[in-house]
Structure 1
Amino acid sequence: MLLMFEWTNFLSWQTLIQCIDIAVVWFLIYKLLQIIRGTRAVHLVQGLIVVLAIKVFAYMIGLNTLDYIINMIIQWGIIGLIVVFQPEIRRGLEHIGRSTFWTRQIHRNNPSKQLISEIIKATAYMAKRRIGALISIEIENSLQEYVNTGIPLDADISNQLLINIFIPNTPLHDGAVIIQGYKISTAASYLPLSESPLIPKELGTRHRAAIGLSEVSDALTIIVSEETGAVSITHHNRLFRDLNEERLESILEDVLVHEDEKKDSSMKSIRELFEYFKAGGDKNE
């Protein structure tokens, strides 16, 4: 009987709330680590762990002076950290603000096999001739902020047009092409440069811009290196380097086509379910 009473208390509502509380805290810590991954804030977290470890040690041993100094460092250090790490804080807030949980996408990108085919043809041509290129494709998060920095085109996508944009010494070649829907929205757009110390030194401004955009949005960006002709892709703060045509096509289909097919399938199921209940309702009448 006593064992049953203790088990009932363990399964009480209060215990459930505490479990949810712990799960939410761990989830927030996990998302925070995802946001700061590859930034200077990683070293900040490591330093904070060391400071907290010293504080716990000083408190347990009874080193009152050291404990007091650590407390002062923590109190005044928070203000200094806000000033020093303002870019990282801004990036984290932008990441949260651009999350699909909060925002409603107005211009939904719905890529097709034809779109992927044109991009592959263009990158293959430019890679062979070492023509530098930067092509960003909007997924869920809006890229309007970066669209506004470029030259409006609103043109249908073709490999000939993409190649012509990036021909060296032409007015539009410097910057990024941004694709929204089935249209080339702008050319010569400026993307945010990543400040991550983990980026290899041999990668130039195009790669840093592509990685920077992947840190603040879910956009997929294709880079053609002007120095080597190598083709790379960034997506969700990940860099895929030295891709051949087969691997490039596979990634594009995984990110652009398969996810849309899943969503279209889900919407179709919802519509079918709605029609089913509607038909049933009509029969009952």
Structure 2
Amino acid sequence: MLFGELPVLNYVGNVIDVLLVWFVIYKIIMVIRGTKAVQLLKGITVIIVVQFLSKFLGLRTLEWIMDQALTWGFLAIIIIFQPELRRALEQLGRGKLFSRGSVPEEDEQTKVIEAVVKATSYMAKRRIGALISIERETGMGDYIETGIDLKAKVSSELLINLFIPNTPLHDGAVILQRNEVAAAACYLPLSESPFISKELGTRHRAAVGISEVTDSITVIVSEETGGISVTKNGELHRELTPDSLGEILTSTLIGQTRSSSGARWQWRGKRDG
């Protein structure tokens, strides 16, 4: 009797087969989590459910439409999501497709917030224009690719130096990913909203634009006035102080106020005179 014909080995082989399939599916979900592909997956799920219901209820016309959507949808996916597919293949070639992404701890996130607040306060006093976008759940890989890769640990000194006028990387946005400066001199989409004040420039429009297409939170320092602003969820919050900026970043990124006793967030860094 061959080993492949043993019932126990067949059972073990089936179990391993199922576990491997689930492992691959899980890792693929982890890769696309936080990207535009998640919305695509939701749409495909809706189409499959509608197709099943139309077949069960005998709705022939609707069933035919859903069949066509699934048949031609694969080609549409390749065309629409070509950048995401290319990035996934590149990660596979570098052996990073199944790597486990690190999630920043609260202490690390707090250090990032303090670095951003300190750098923003310094630049605001000296009217150094700045645009800092912090990635959250929605991936910003498409925009990171438009800039210069850095992959450097976040610090206030680094952020300040990146925006010093007439330096190679000062023009554009800095994107923070987890606890790193992912890239500098990045291009962000400009908002076409007619409700943005005419007195605001490209930095503010870019900050609003990225907040309309991702869930990122973006900090702006005006070069003309030194004013500090924040955008999130398509909304612009202007004329902020370092303390109010810290409160917004903490509540958004960590989900709680800095002080457990309910006191207001206070930046404890050295004040610039």
TM-score above 0.5, yes or no: yes
Task: Structure 1: give runs of 5+ residues left out of the alignment.
Answer: 1-92, 98-104, 262-285
Give the residue type in structure 1 aligned to 2:226. G
Count residues with an aligned counterpart.
Answer: 160
Equivalent residue for 2:162, pick from 162, 165, 168: 165
- Which amino acid in structure 2 is aligned with residue 205 of structure 1? T
**Aligned-partner Cα distance in 1 for 2:124–2:242:** 11
Name the counterpart of 2:206. Answer: 209
- Alignment partner of 2:210: what SS? helix
The structure richer in helix per residue is: 1
Q: Which residue is 2:186 aligned to?
A: 189
CA distance in 1, matches of 2:208, 2:198: 14
Contact 1:135 1:177 in 2 (8 A): yes
SS for the counterpart of 1:242 is strand
Letter in 2 for 1:145: D
Q: C-alpha displacement at 1:246, in angstroms?
A: 1.3
Distance between the aligned counterparts of 1:195 and 1:130, measured in 2?
26
1:250 aligns with 2:214: no
CA distance, structure 2, for counterparts of residue 159 and residue 147 of structure 1: 20
- Give the alignment's TM-score, normalised by structure 1: 0.53
Match of 2:222, as an amino acid? S
Structure 2: runs of 5 or more not aligned: 1-79, 85-99, 259-273
Residues 216-235 of structure 1: CA deviation (Å, up to 9, x unaligned): 00000000000000000000
Counterpart in the other structure of 1:129? 126
Deviations 1:214-268 (A, max 9, x none): 0000000000000000000000111110100111011011001127x9xxxxxxx
Tell me, what secondary structure is at the counterpart of 1:258?
Answer: coil
The residue correspondences of 1:84-103 to structure 2 (distance < 5 A) are none
Give me the whole-angstrom Cα distance separating, in 1, the residues matched to 2:248 and 2:173.
20
Q: Which amino acid aligns with 2:193?
A: S
Give the distance between the partners of 1:190 and 1:236, measured in 2 at CA.
Answer: 19
Q: What do you get for the CA RMSD once the two structures are aligned?
A: 2.4
Q: Match of 1:223?
A: 220
Q: Aligned ranges for residues 45-64 of structure 1 at < 5 Å?
A: none
Per-residue deviation, 1:139? 0.4
- Alpha-carbon separation, structure 1, partners of 2:248 and 2:102: 22
The CA deviation at 1:109 is 5.5
How far residue 107 of structure 1 moved from its aligned partner, in angstroms, is: 6.4
8 A contact 1:115–1:182 mirrored in 2: yes
Summarize deviations over 1:10-29 as a string: whole Å, max 9, x none.
Answer: xxxxxxxxxxxxxxxxxxxx
Rg (Cα) greater in structure? 1
Q: C-alpha deviations, 1:188-208, integer Å up to 9, x for none?
A: 000000011110000000000
Deviation at 1:108, TM superposition (A): 4.8
Q: CA deviation at 1:114?
A: 1.2
| Letter matched to residue 194 of structure 1 | S
After superposition, the C-alpha distances for 1:156-179 in whole angstroms (9 at most, x for unaligned) are 011011000000000000000000
Cross-structure match for 1:117 = 114
What stretches of structure 1 move > 4 A for 4+ residues in a row? 105-111
- Percent identity, aligned pairs only? 55
**TM (normalized to structure 2)?**
0.55
- Contact 1:127 1:225 survives alignment (8 Å): yes
Please state whether the residue corresponding to 2:167 is helix, strand or coil: coil
Structure 2 CA distance, aligned partners of 1:106 and 1:198?
A: 38
Tell me the residue number matched to 1:53.
none
Q: For residues 185 and 127 of structure 2, what CA distance do their matches in structure 1 show?
A: 18
CA contact (8 A) 1:134 1:221 kept: yes
